[in-house]
Chain A
Amino acid sequence: MKKTFLYEDHLSHGAKMVDFSGWSMPINYGSQIDEHHQVRNDVGIFDVSHMSIFKISGQNAEGYLRYIFSNDVKKISSKNKALYGLLLNENAGIIDDLIVYCLEGDFMIVSNCATKEKNEAWYQRHASEFDVSVEYIDNEGILAVQGPNSIKVIEKIFGGEASSLNTNECVKVDGVMIAKTGYTGEEGFEVICENKYLRKIWNSAIESGAKPIGLAARDTLRLEAGFCLYGSDMDESVNPHACGLTWTVDLNDEDREFIGKQAFLNINERDEQKMIGILLKDKGILRPGYEITHIDGKGTVLSGTFSPTLKKSIGLARVDRTVEQSGRVKIRNKELEIEFVSPRFLKKI
């Protein structure tokens, strides 16, 4: 099994390690609920070095990314910024979701770990048309520092230039990239650098008040924020409309050709199922695969969990379009009432 550079550090913090797509990763360091609250109320640090980093080089890197990515990287070119979007196939099915960073003119992609092989093949397949090279980076890691007090931690380690970044901005400080991005719905930063710097940053963050947070809390945090998880909430069989991700397909520049564009334009959004947030009114826990019914049709739970913040079960679901604001979910032998809400659960708090 693959280990991140900080494997031993996780063990020394009491992590329970699990196999996550071939990587041995910390699932929790005790209680995932305590870790969740730590990020919502204070600050936590995650080792997410299992995620894939690719660097794109060549004169036409921008043209290449504008062609393979649903969002238009022209918006971030030469701007030191990050842009979220999708890799679409020719049918507008979702190959993966990812972030493209542009830092000091160089482009970098961070994407999921389970999709590494297929993404790499996809990148290479189209790289020659644009005369760019795409390189998988295996000597760098990623730390996420997330929570309302993440600014203090980042300021202490990297100074004010990094800590004062606005959302989706990034900067390089002493060879380390710091970006104001994250997957928790809290103010936070992601730090990408060569492995040799990771331990020092990890330890400095912990000395500054950050606590190690495992992947289990990362999942409840992202679900409360309404962020889709690739493989659970989306895959190649669905298009952006069915995932609440229509906004990641940038059609502003009519002259821009990109993979999946024609198929996407041929889809009528109103014919597609839609992604919604669901709240269970009764006790119980929503789980992936549970069937939903409502007055105009049916649907399926994609992600479901216990929300530590709301203290009830929440989920993401894909359902037939309806104006109804409630429905029913089948849990084992019972039909329970659910409320249909925006997936941005945090805004309800």
Chain B
Amino acid sequence: MSEIPGDLKFLSSHEWARLEDDGTVTVGISDHAQDLLGDIVFIELPEVGKEVEAEGDAAIVESVKAASDVYTPISGEIIEVNSALEEQPETVNGSPYDDGWFFKVKPINVDEMSDLLSPEEYSEVCED
């Protein structure tokens, strides 16, 4: 499994969040999650402008095997989605932390980031 980038924070349900320099938060699913899912074949992204609440469902990812909800680690407004994933969902398998990001949130309260798991804490969740 690839190294977890140090600037990410996680939900135990395998989503990651990265606070960008412009104050927005990028969200995706972890390498561990894509490995568990197997070949990803369909992604349903939220609509831009939608208000989401931390730990609420925001997107759907489907592998050949199963469908899973993707929860947002942070509350706010969806300001951008990675629509390239609609045509090439398999990008998430190959690049879960970079090209395979799902959506960007303009956070209501950026302090929610501190409620999330560090890479080390998340790694422990994966080992359980």
Contacts and interface: CB of A to CB of B under 8 A. Distances in A.
Interface in B22-56: 38-39, 41-42, 44
A165 interface: no
Contacts of B126: none
B41 A32 contact: no
A313 B89 CA distance: 14
Interface stretch (A50-58, A109-117, A279-287): A279-287
B38 A28 contact: yes
B62 interface: yes
Contacts, number: 35
A33 B86 contact: no
B42 A33 contact: no
A33 B67 contact: no
Contacts of A27: 38
A216 B36 CA distance: 13
A306 B41 contact: yes
A168 interface: no
Given A32-B64, A33-B64, A216-B64, A284 B42 contact: yes
Contacts of A32: 38-39, 64-65
A31 interface: yes
Interface residues of A, number: 16
B62 A33 contact: no
A40 to B, nearest CB: 15
A328 B121 CA distance: 44
B121 to A, nearest CB: 25
Contact of B86 (A28, A220, A283, A308): A283
A305 interface: yes
Contacts of B65: 32, 216
A287 B67 contact: yes
B70 to A, nearest CB: 13
Contacts of A313: 42
A286 to B, nearest CB: 10
- Residue from A284, A287, A308 with most neighbouring chain B CB atoms (10 Å): A284
Nearest to A332: B60
Contact of A306 (B42, B44, B86): B42
Contacts of A284: 42, 44, 62
A28 B62 CA distance: 17
Interface in A263-319: 283-285, 287, 305-306, 308, 313
B42 A305 contact: no
A32 B39 CA distance: 7
Interface in B63-84: 64-65, 67
A27 B44 CA distance: 25
A287 B44 CA distance: 15
A220 B39 CA distance: 12
A287 B64 CA distance: 10
A308 B93 CA distance: 16
B38 A285 contact: no
17 contacts: A27-B38, A31-B38, A32-B38, A32-B64, A33-B39, A33-B64, A216-B38, A283-B42, A285-B41, A285-B42, A285-B64, A287-B67, A305-B64, A306-B42, A308-B64, A313-B42, A332-B60
Given A220-B64, A313-B42, 11 more contacts: A28-B38, A32-B38, A32-B64, A32-B65, A216-B38, A216-B64, A216-B65, A284-B44, A284-B62, A306-B42, A306-B64
The 6 closest A-B pairs by CB, nearest first: A306-B41, A33-B39, A285-B62, A306-B64, A285-B42, A32-B39
